Amino acid sequence: MFKSRWHYLVVALVAFFLLFAALGVLAAVLIYPNLPSLDRLTDYRPKVPMRIYTADNSLIAEFGEERRAVVSLTNIPHFVPQAILAAEDERFYQHGGVDTLGILRAALSNVLSGGAKEGASTITMQVARNFFLSSEKTFTRKLNEALLAIKIEHTLSKDQILTLYINQIYLGQRAYGFGAASYAYFGKPLQKVSIAEAAMLAGLPKAPSRYNPVVNFERARQRQLYVLHRMHELKYIDDAQYEQAKNQRLVIRNTLQNATNVSADYVAEMVRQAMYDRYQDAIYTSGMKVYTTIRKHDQEAANQALWQGVMDYDQRHGYRGVEGSVPMPADSQNPQAALDDALQNIAVIHDLQPAVVLAASPKLVRAYSKDSGTLAITGAGLKFAQRALTGGLPASLDIRRGALIRVQKNAKTGAWRIVQLPAVEAAFISIDPKTGAIRALVGGFDYNHNKFNHVIQAWRQPGSSFKPFIYSAALEKGFTAATLVEDTPLTIPADQAGGVAWTPKNYEDTYAGIVSVRQALTKSLNLPTIRILQAIGPYYARDYVKRFGFDPARQPPYLTLALGAGSVTPLQLATGYTAFANGGQLVTPYLITRVVDQHGQVLSQAIPEKPHQVIDPRNAFIMTSLMQDVVRRGTAARAMQLGRSDLAGKTGTTNDQRDAWFAGYQPSVVGVAWIGFDQPRSLGRGETGAQAALPIWMKYMGTVLRDVPQTGYTMPNGIVTATINPLTGLPVADGEQGYNEYFYQETVPVLSTAPAVPDAAPATPDAQQQPDSQQPNSSPVF
């Protein structure tokens, strides 16, 4: 009786399978001819994002619908495809697209386990699904998938199919293909992964969201161990490799940002906009590579300089209070998960981590950070925020349980401190004054926090950093570096000041009486500068500064122009200073050097504009001499800490310290630093260009010029020197003491008893280029 039942059961199963097979054959006959063309596979053109690089080939950013890095089997380690086969399809090279044995094994496993826990999709079937089908779980889709897999196997080789799979499969973090996933999770190309890392990547196709190591490392780790076990079982790796891979500590990139080699988000967006204007949506899919003038070393130096300068300013002005509050989880099994959820959408800005306060007192703060777990802050780490721990701020801003704060870890000591997101903004740009190549550009404290690019979009008053352009104009009107000017109070009538009577002052509200032009610029004295502008005329000065690239419409033709009351961008100011650094030649800044397609063919090549002479080389030389004194003994004397004699520049501070600047240069680089609030307001008492902006410039220059030899400025033809009496501004008479000063040959003051001695041959007429020059007044004092 028992045997009879088994007999009938077997017959029934055989009949069922025969019927199923017959229906399958019939369906195949009807469906196979209507399957889609495989042109998408045979002419595979993946959507490769546009990538942006520095001049020295470091990745800045990528923009595209899909993050992708196409690889071939020949240029990746052999254990990468082995890990994939071990995880997904060990019989890939034996079956014909549909693995019958695999189907039977999966069916048996599912019957024994009481559910559908194991699938039987081959790599070829996954390729068919990814390229041509949806992910719906229906019999029709599965049949189409199987038939397409068979068709693919008849058209492509196994290696071609595996290559398609490796480059097409979605693996989380917006990464399509193993090449992109390697960058996304490990920050390295697929060619450089280890066996352990390859196994982690190979575990992702089964369920990218479930096994994403950024989201759930422990779950991803279990999947990785399974893949390693299968690799060992299949003898892809030996015992030693297996043990080493199991024990290797994996470092996962815990960010959704691009796996870039250098942080230059503002640069990346500038390039993206320029490329989109030219190529439209093709930039997101065609695999273009854009090479910029940015140098990695310079950009990193600029980043660090700006971040440090902003943080130092923020520390000087005290703790403003907590960012907000987070509902504390009730007593539960897993409070950490609730805190992680609360912090999920609060970004880490640089190394300023968001944290929730668990307990707070004036001597100890315990807080929880998603990235660093529970941490304790004591001693010096509490000093900055002490007011918020002792009732010195409104209650809503105090540090207490549930408060959202920012914490920062000291990289050397490991100690934590309470910090805050700075409210102030800053910008920095450096340019090669000989070519116009932009070497570094930082448009703000953090792009993800504030996407406004202050280098090119912020129109701000330049303050005293604009004075060199006024003094340059004065040299062309007959002034000399030795000309004496009054430094005494004056009141400017409304018609000369833009509509309101104006009583300007020097920064420290002190006056020297009579000073030379050199002294006036070195000490950044306002009253002498205004008198100089009075003498040459505001309209002349406004037209003159146009040659430096400034928009005359943004420079008011009033005496307030002397103190930088117009508007400039940091990029404009840096461009203008290139003329002083480059012997009077102005460069045109540029950022993109070339664009190539994904096959390396050049699509466009930049041809930098040739620098053009905009001021007399003698003017540039004398102005550089004046600005070297600003650095050596003037408002920027702090820069002498760099130990260089070839630096020149000018501080800038606007009314009520709303903007702080430093613009300066060395023969090989011009740099401009700015700091201020987006909604202009005072930076605070004492926050001058020398205090707030100069340190940013110094830190950058100290880094990029570390191995650059000191260089002098070549004296052009037509410059003479004379020994000048500082009391008269005239050459010394017999027995008088004086100092050496530079002059245009035709404007050197002469005493019959003390003629000037030319140091160089006269300038050629073409080199002078001075607009309606006139001799200085008979009186040497203005």
More confident residue, 497 or 107: 497
Under a CB-based contact definition with an 8 Å cutoff, are residues 318 and 429 in contact?
no
Min mean pLDDT across 108-117, 139-148, 350-359, 699-708 is at 108-117
pLDDT for position 6: 54
Residue 506 structure tokens: 């020097």
* SS3 state at 751: strand
| Whole-Å CA distances, 602 to 48, 291, 589, 598, 780 | 17, 11, 22, 10, 60
Are 382 and 376 in contact by the 8 Å Cβ rule? The answer is no
CB atoms within 10 A of CB 100: 11
Provide the greatest CA pair distance for the chain: 141
Q: Is the pLDDT of residue 30 over 60?
A: no
Cα dihedral sign for 738, 740, 746, 752? positive
| Mean pLDDT for the chain overall | 86
* pLDDT at residue 136 is higher than 90: no
Radius of gyration of the chain (CA): 35
Please state, in angstroms and rounded to a whole number, the distance separating the CA atoms of residues 588 and 542: 20
pLDDT above 50: residue 168: yes
Helix H, strand E, coil C: the string for 209-244 is CCCCCCCCHHHHHHHHHHHHHHHHHCCCCCHHHHHH
Binned at pLDDT 50, 70 and 90, residue 771 comes out as very low
pLDDT at 773 over 80: no
Which of 164, 149, 138, 7 has its CA nearest to residue 70? Answer: 164
Confidence check: pLDDT of 115 > 70: no
Residues 502 and 561: beta-carbon distance below 8 Å: no
Of 517, 549, 497, the closest CA to residue 743 belongs to 517
Scanning the structure block, which residue is given the tokens 């605070």? 684
- Torsions phi, psi of 38, nearest 5? -95, 20
Residues marked as catalytic? 88, 464
What is the DSSP secondary structure assignment for residue 406, as one 8-state letter?
E
Once rounded to an integer, what is the mean pLDDT over residues 412-428? 96
Question: Helix crossing, 617-633 with 467-475: angle to 10°?
Answer: 140
- pLDDT at position 103, please? 59
Structure tokens at 349: 């800005």
Give per-residue pLDDT as tens, 508-529: 889 999 999 999 999 999 999 9
Confidence bin at 48 (pLDDT 50/70/90): confident
Confidence class for position 589, pLDDT limits 50, 70, 90: very high
Between helix 217-233 and helix 195-202 the angle, nearest 10°, is: 110
572 pLDDT tier (thresholds 50, 70, 90): very high
pLDDT of residue 359: 93
For residues 616 and 341, what is the distance between their CA atoms, to the nearest angstrom?
A: 64
Question: CA-CA distance, 119 to 126, in Å (whole number)?
Answer: 11
155-164: buried (b, 16+ CB within 10 Å) or exposed (e) per residue? Answer: ebeeebbbbb
Strand partners, 405: 355
Task: Give the per-residue pLDDT at 762.
Answer: 32
C-beta neighbour count of 196 within 10 angstroms = 20
pLDDT digits (tens, 9 = 90+) for 225-244: 999 999 999 999 999 999 99
Residue 116 has pLDDT above 60, yes or no: no
Q: Which of 660, 655, 662 is CA-nearest to residue 627? A: 662
One-letter identity of residue 194: S
With residue 742 as reference, give the H or E element that holds it: strand 739-744
Q: What is the pLDDT of residues 69-84, one digit of tens each?
A: 888 899 999 999 999 9
Residue 9, class by beta-carbon neighbours within 10 Å (0-12 exposed, 13-18 middle, 19+ buried)? exposed
Report pLDDT for 630. 98
List, in order, residues 6 or more apart from 258 with CB less than 8 Å away: 59, 61, 62, 67, 183
User: How sure is the predictor about 763, in pLDDT bands with cuts at 50, 70 and 90?
Assistant: very low
Q: Which residues pair with 308 in a beta bridge?
A: none
Q: So what's the pLDDT on residue 140?
A: 60
**Which DSSP string do the residues of 269-319 spell out, in sequence order?**
HHHHHHHHHHHGGGGGTB--EEEES--HHHHHHHHHHHHHHHHHHHHHT--
Contact present, 166 and 84 (Cβ < 8 Å): yes
The whole-number pLDDT of residue 124 equals 84
Residue with the bigger pLDDT between 594 and 599: it is: 594
Judge contact between 489 and 511, C-beta under 8 A. Answer: yes
Bridge-partner residues for 670, per DSSP?
431, 665
Q: Tell me the per-residue pLDDT of 331-343, one tens digit each, with 9 for 90 and over.
A: 666 678 788 888 8
Predicted pLDDT of residue 553: 94
User: CA angle at residue 526 from 520 to 529, to 5 degrees?
Assistant: 60
- pLDDT digit string (tens) for 458-474? 999 999 999 999 999 99
Which single residue is written with the structure tokens 């925020």? Answer: 385
3-state secondary structure of 337: helix
Higher pLDDT, 2 or 271: 271
pLDDT band at 705 (very low <50, low <70, confident <90, very high): very high
Residues with Cβ < 8 Å from 388, sequence gap 6 or more? Answer: 319, 321, 322, 397, 398, 399
97-106, 119-128, 203-212, 327-336: which is most confident: 203-212
Residues 6+ apart with CB under 8 A from 431: 437, 438, 439, 574, 575, 578, 587, 589, 669, 670, 671
pLDDT of the residue at 22: 52
Q: Residue 378 has which token pair?
A: 């004591």
**535 token code pair:** 């003498």
Quote the CA–CA distance of 403 and 756 in Å, as a whole number: 73
Res 582: pLDDT:
97
480, pLDDT greater than 50:
yes
Q: Average pLDDT in the 48-65 region? A: 91
**What is the pLDDT confidence band of residue 389, given thresholds at 50, 70 and 90?**
very high
DSSP string spanning 656-669? Answer: GG-EEEEEEEETTE
Q: Kindly report, residue by residue over 3-25, the tens digit of the pLDDT.
A: 555 555 555 555 545 555 554 55
Q: Residue 641: exposed, middle, or buried by beta-carbon count in 10 A (0-12, 13-18, 19+)?
A: exposed
Question: Is the model's pLDDT at 33 over the cut of 80?
Answer: no
Q: Would you list the DSSP string of 586-654? A: EP--B-EEEEE-TTS-EEEE--PPPPEE-S-HHHHHHHHHHHHHHHHHSTTGGGGGG--SS-EEEEEE-
pLDDT bucket at 147, cuts 50 / 70 / 90: confident
Tokens representing 512? 């020297």
Beta-bridged to residue 295, according to DSSP, are: none
**Phi–psi pair at 138, nearest 5 degrees:** -130, 160
pLDDT band at 426 (very low <50, low <70, confident <90, very high): very high
Give whichever of 138-147, 170-179, 704-713, 767-776 has the largest mean pLDDT. 704-713
The dihedrals phi and psi of 316, each to the nearest 5 degrees, come to -65, -20
pLDDT confidence of residue 199: 96
Q: How far is CA 594 from CA 296, 586, 606, in A?
A: 17, 23, 6
Predicted confidence (pLDDT) at residue 176 exceeds the cutoff of 90:
no
Q: Cα(335)–Cα(12) distance, rounded to whole angstroms?
A: 56
CA–CA separation, 620 and 716 (whole Å): 9
